Amino acid sequence: MGRQLRPRNLLLAAAAGAGVFLLAGCSADTMSQWSRFGLPVAASDRAPLIGNLWVGAWIAALAVGVFVWGLIFWVMFRYRKKSSDQQPEQKQYNLPLELLYTLVPFLIIGVLFFYTVQTQNGVLAKASPQQQSELHTVNVIGQKWSWTFNYMEADNPQVAAVVHQVGSIDKIPDLYLPVNKPVRFNLTSADVIHSFYIPAFYYKLDVIPGRANSFDVTPDRIGVYSGKCAELCGTYHAAMLFTVHVVSEEDYIAYLNQLKAKGQTGEITAPAYPNTVPSVPAVEGEKK
C-alpha cells in the first residue's frame, strides 16, 4: 500500500492547490494591479512619484511583518516547553536586543520620512519655465453637490474666451484635459470643505472655502477616468462625481469651442467668504 498522507499534509496540499487555482483565474489586469498594491493605472506625470512611495512603503511594511512573524514563530518553537519542568533562564535585560528594537524603528521612520519629503516636493512642484507657454489653467469650484470647471483660455487664440461647465446633483460634469500638456488646477469652494480627487492621477487636494489651493499636473495617458470628492462634505457627498477625458489637444480645443458655441462663456466664481455668519440686527430693548 502507498504511503498515507497525514491530515496536516493534506491541508497544506489543499491550500497550495487553492492558491494556484485562484491565481490561475486572475486576469492580467488584476495581476498588474496587485503589482501596484491596488493602485489604478497611472495617467499623469506625478503618479509615478506617489506610486513608488506607495509600493516602497508596502514592501517595507511586509519586510518588517515577515521579520516580526519570523521572530514570533522562532521563539514559539525555540522556547517551547520541554519534557522536563525546568524553567528557561531568566534575564533582567538584554542590551543588544533593547538597542535593536529601539534603533530600528527610528531607522525605518527616518527612511520613510526622507522619501516622503522627496515625493512631496516632486508632486507639489510647479510647471517649469519652459512649460509656461503650454500651460493650461482650469479654475475648479466645489459646491454642494457637484463641480464647476472654468477653462481659462482667454489668451489662447484658438478659443479666445473663458468657458465653463457646471455640474449638478443630477448631471455629472465632464472635465477635458489635453494629453502631455501641463495643467494648473486652482481650487476654491462655494460652501464647505471638499476634496478634488482623480484616482488615476494618484493625487488629491482639499477644496477649502475662502482659500485658494492649486497644483500642476501633466496628463500623459489618453482615456476616460473617474473623479470624485474625497472629503465627506454632506448629505449628497456620494453624488460629487465627475468624468475626466484626457484627449488630444485638437479634441480639447474642439470641446472648448463647443462650450463657447453653447454660450457657456465667462468665469463663474465662488463667494470670497461663503461661511461668514451674517450680522443680525439688534432687537429693541436687547443689550448690545
- The pLDDT score that the predictor gives to residue 5 is 47
Percent of the chain with pLDDT over 70: 79
Is the same domain home to 200 and 115? no
pLDDT bracket for residue 83 (50, 70, 90): low
Q: Is 268 domain-assigned?
A: no
Same domain, 54 and 139: no
Mean pLDDT over 195-207 rounds to: 94
**The residue to which cell 440686527 is assigned:** 281
The pLDDT assigned to 1 comes to: 45
Judgement on whether residues 144 and 169 belong to the same structural domain of the protein? yes
CB 180 within 8 A of CB 220: yes
Distance separating alpha carbons of residues 19 and 202, to the nearest angstrom: 30
Residues 101 and 141 in one domain: no
Asked whether residue 277 is assigned to any structural domain, the reply reads no
Give domain status of residue 247, yes or no.
yes
pLDDT of residue 188: 93
| Tens digits of residue pLDDT in 146-186 | 999 999 999 999 999 999 999 999 899 999 999 999 999 99
Residue 86 resides in a domain: no
Is the predicted pLDDT of residue 200 greater than 60, yes or no?
yes
Residue 202: inside a domain, yes or no? yes
Q: Are 31 and 58 members of one domain?
A: no
In a domain, 51, yes or no: yes
Q: Name the residue with higher pLDDT: 234 or 13.
A: 234
Pair (104, 69) in one structural domain: yes
What's the pLDDT at 257?
95
Kindly report the length of the chain: 288
Q: Are residues 229 and 211 in the same domain?
A: yes
Q: Are 101 and 204 in a shared domain?
A: no
Verify that 171 and 115 share a domain, yes or no: no
pLDDT greater than 80 at residue 62: yes
Q: Average pLDDT in the 42-65 region?
A: 90
CATH label of the domain that carries residue 150:
2.60.40.420
DSSP code string of the chain: -PPPPPHHHHHHHHHHHHHHHHHHTS-HHHHHHHHTTT-----BSSHHHHHHHHHHHHHHHHHHHHHHHHHHHHHHHHT---SS-PPPPP-S--HHHHHHHHHHHHHHHHHHHHHHHHHHHHHHPPPPGGGGGG-EEEEEEEETTEEEEEEEETT-TTT-EEEEEE-BTTB--EEEEETTS-EEEEEEESSS-EEEEEGGGTEEEEE-BT--EEEEE-B-S-EEEEEEE-S--STTGGG-EEEEEEE-HHHHHHHHHHHHHTT-BS-----SSTTPPPP-PPPTT---
Name the domain count of the chain: 3
Q: How far apart are the C-alpha atoms of 162 and 152, rounded to whole Å?
A: 5
Arithmetic mean of pLDDT, 211-224:
93
In a domain, 203, yes or no: yes
Q: What is the pLDDT of residues 221-267, one digit of tens each?
A: 999 999 999 999 989 999 999 999 999 999 999 999 999 999 999 99
In this structure, the answer to whether residues 140 and 195 fall within a common structural domain is: yes
Torsion angle of C-alpha atoms 237, 203, 105, 67, degrees rounded to 10: 90
Report d(CA 156, CA 162) in Å as an integer: 9
Q: Taken in order 82, 83, 89, 90, is the CA torsion positive or negative? A: positive
Residue 27 sits in the same domain as residue 53 = no
Residues 165 and 242 in one domain: yes
The answer as to whether 189 is a domain residue is yes
**Through-space distance between the first and last CA atoms of the chain, rounded to whole angstroms:** 101
Buried b (16+ CB within 10 A) or exposed e, 111-130: eeeebeeebeeebeeebeee
Q: 74 preceded by cis ω (within 30°)? A: no
Q: Is the pLDDT of residue 123 over 70?
A: yes
- Name the band, by pLDDT with cuts 50, 70 and 90, for residue 100: confident
Q: Cα–Cα distance between 141 and 191 in angstroms, integer?
A: 10
Q: Which domain holds residue 246?
A: 135-261
